[in-house]
Amino acid sequence: MLKMDIAVKHPLFIGGKWQEANQYDELRSPYSSEKITEIPKATSEETEAAIQAAENAQEEMQQHATVKCS
């Protein structure tokens, strides 16, 4: 049996920064049930922060764009 040693906990990327999530879900191998990784499960607050950061980034990029997008 192939042994995987890649159990990594992935953070969230919000507003240009990596941050630990408040909750995680485990991803397990369907073959061996071995834990492969932990996937961040964003809370509603983390989701709202990501949306706000994306909207802010879009506004900033539009200010610097040579051609305005509508």
Q: Is residue 49 scored above 90 in pLDDT? A: yes
Q: Where are the domains of the chain?
A: 8-64
Query: Tell me, what's the pLDDT at 4?
Result: 52
Tell me which of 3 and 56 has the higher pLDDT.
56
Distances (CA, A) of 19 to 4, 12, 38, 40, 51: 25, 5, 14, 10, 15
Q: Record the tokens describing residue 31, joined without a space.
A: 């073959």
For the stretch 4-33, pLDDT in tens is: 555 567 789 999 999 999 999 998 989 999
